[in-house]
């Protein structure tokens, strides 16, 4: 079977890009990745994006990005899976190379959230990741759903606010090293604990910020001679969509299933993993993600924070980029940033903290309330 390698990486800094359109942001990341891969065109482009229709009044985004990038004629697909749109686009691109129909393809994750300037507006836009009819129309925002889960986790496993605070502090610390990160400053436990409630028990400092960004990858069936980085496994799964349908709110069932599928394809076990990028849109999702990836038992994810395991020199370095919390979370782009960061780390040229010869990196991207999940396993050469 065909193997798939990452041969090019491109990123823009995550920020409020008032002077660029969503298509300009995307085509900039795409051009950087093409230059990095030293190729001029690809056989197809897969664009991951969630909100361009609602926030930028722009659908038909894939052919627009291709046209802006000057790649006339190239087939183009936009893939959407809420906050997992980026990883869904990577999975689609990966499958297309596996099919043998394409040899070199590009993935671009992009989101330009700042075109929506009101908090109410962006909250409503993000709430389209819930079941609009049976969740959001009744007043449950996305933050509120996460708050329900955090409340239950805290109760079941006796977790204190200062335990959660360790996540945010570490993410901000990691982000200071990453030139592409949105929030490049450290915070203290005092600042975490005094930050305002957004939806109790979620504090302001538990939330990822709103920002604009684009990241791109070139995937190829041709193995590079120098430091090949292989996408060794991809796992995809969906869950019962609505929170009220689930037997167990504290297990990300789709993420767990996706992880098993990805590990099986890559022929690895959780203990083989050298680093992870997980989906901490809110602190609680970071903790549950570690459990879903099999890095901690149920209810024990929080221990990885308390023991310092998630630090760059810990047992399972987590979100060296700063994570969604501090690198930023331009929603449809996030999954591509995660894999791009792991690829650069495996290449030996990370954007932040450098690990000592890592070999295996895993990214977990969650869509909606983890209703659509993607796990990507990278192996260094």
Q: Which residues are catalytic?
A: 83, 329
Identity of the residue, 52 or 168, whose beta carbon is nearer to a second copy in the bound complex: 52
* 113, 122 contact by CB (below 8 A): yes
Half-sphere exposure of residue 206: CA atoms within 13 angstroms, side-chain side? 26
Q: At which residue do the structure tokens 């393809």 appear?
A: 105
Q: Residue 322 has which token pair? A: 């700063």
Identity of the residue, 239 or 280, whose beta carbon is nearer to a second copy in the bound complex: 239
Residues in contact with 190: Cβ distance below 8 Å, sequence separation at least 6, in sequence order: none
Task: At 79, give phi and psi (nearest 5°).
Answer: -120, 135
Query: Can you say whether the dihedral through the CA atoms of 314, 320, 326, 329 is positive or negative?
Result: negative
Identity of the residue, 207 or 258, whose beta carbon is nearer to a second copy in the bound complex: 258
Could you tell me whether strands 44-48 and 104-112 are parallel, antiparallel, or unpaired per DSSP bridges?
A: parallel
Among 9, 66, 187, 351, binds a second copy (CB under 8 A): 66
Burial 99-137 (b: 16+ CB within 10 A, else e): eeebebbbbbbbbbbbbbeeeeebbbbbbbbbbeeebbe
Least spacing, CB of residue 213 vs a second copy, in Å: 18
Residues 77-96 that bind a second copy (CB under 8 A): 77-82, 88, 91-92, 95-96
Among 50, 145, 305, 342, binds a second copy (CB under 8 A): 50
Identity of the residue, 328 or 367, whose beta carbon is nearer to a second copy in the bound complex: 367
What angle (nearest 5°) sits at the alpha carbon of residue 98, between those of residues 34 and 9? 25
Q: Judged by CB under 8 A, which stretch of 132-140, 211-219, 320-328, 336-344 contacts a second copy?
A: 132-140
Q: Residue 165 has which token pair? A: 């605070």
Which x/- pattern, by CB under 8 A, does the window 203-242 give for a second copy?
Answer: ---------------------------------xxxxxxx
- Should residue 72 be labelled a site residue for a second copy when binding is judged by CB under 8 A? yes
Identity of the residue, 131 or 274, whose beta carbon is nearer to a second copy in the bound complex: 131
- Should residue 128 be labelled a site residue for a second copy when binding is judged by CB under 8 A? yes
Q: Judged by CB under 8 A, which stretch of 98-106, 146-154, 159-167, 271-279 contacts a second copy?
A: 98-106
- d(CA 274, CA 31) in angstroms, rounded, equals 30
Residues 2-21 that bind a second copy (CB under 8 A): 21
- d(CA 255, CA 271) in angstroms, rounded, equals 17
* 77, 107 contact by CB (below 8 A): no
Q: For a second copy, how many residues bind (rule: CB under 8 A)?
A: 65
Q: At which residue do the structure tokens 């906050």 appear?
A: 83
- Should residue 263 be labelled a site residue for a second copy when binding is judged by CB under 8 A? no
Identity of the residue, 255 or 362, whose beta carbon is nearer to a second copy in the bound complex: 255
Residues at the site binding a second copy, with contacts judged by CB under 8 A:
1, 21, 23, 44, 50-51, 53-54, 56-64, 66-68, 71-82, 88, 91-92, 95-96, 98-101, 124, 127-133, 136, 236-242, 245, 253-254, 257, 367-368, 371-372
């Amino acid at each position: 079977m065909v193997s798939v390698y990452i041969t090019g990486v491109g990123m823009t800094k995550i920020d409020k890009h008032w002077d660029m359109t969503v298509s300009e942001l995307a085509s900039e990341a795409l051009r950087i990745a093409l230059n990095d891969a030293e190729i001029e065109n690809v056989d197809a482009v897969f664009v991951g994006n969630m909100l361009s229709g609602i926030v930028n009044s722009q659908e038909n985004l894939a052919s627009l990005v291709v046209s802006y990038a000057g790649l006339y004629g190239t087939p183009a697909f936009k893939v959407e899976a809420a906050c997992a749109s980026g990883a869904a686009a990577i999975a689609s691109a990966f499958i297309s190379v596996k099919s043998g129909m394409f040899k070199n393809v590009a993935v671009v994750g992009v989101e330009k959230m700042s075109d929506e300037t009101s908090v109410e507006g962006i909250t409503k836009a993000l709430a389209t990741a819930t079941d609009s009819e049976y969740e959001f129309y009744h007043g449950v925002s996305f933050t509120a759903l996460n708050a329900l889960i955090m409340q239950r986790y805290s109760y079941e496993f006796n977790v204190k606010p200062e335990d959660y605070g360790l996540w945010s502090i570490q993410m901000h610390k990691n982000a200071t090293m990453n030139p592409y990160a949105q929030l490049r400053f450290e915070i203290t436990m005092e600042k975490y604990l005094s930050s305002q409630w957004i939806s109790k028990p979620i504090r302001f400092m538990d939330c990822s910020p709103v920002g604009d960004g684009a990241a791109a990858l070139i995937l190829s069936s041709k193995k590079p001679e120098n430091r090949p980085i292989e996408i060794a496994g991809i796992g995809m799964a969906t869950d019962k969509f609505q929170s009220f349908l689930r037997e167990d709110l504290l297990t990300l069932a789709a993420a767990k299933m996706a992880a098993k599928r990805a590990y099986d394809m890559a022929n690895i076990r959780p203990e083989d993993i050298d680093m992870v990028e997980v989906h901490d849109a809110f602190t609680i999702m970071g903790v549950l993600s570690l459990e879903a990836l099999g890095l901690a038992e149920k209810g024990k994810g929080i221990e990885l924070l308390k023991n310092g395991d998630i630090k760059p020199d810990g047992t399972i370095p987590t979100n060296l980029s700063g994570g969604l919390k501090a690198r930023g979370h331009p929603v449809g782009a996030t999954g591509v940033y995660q894999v791009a960061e792991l690829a650069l780390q495996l290449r030996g040229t990370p954007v932040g903290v450098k690990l000592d010869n890592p070999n295996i990196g895993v990214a977990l991207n969650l869509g909606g309330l983890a209703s659509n999940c993607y796990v990507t396993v990278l192996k260094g050469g």
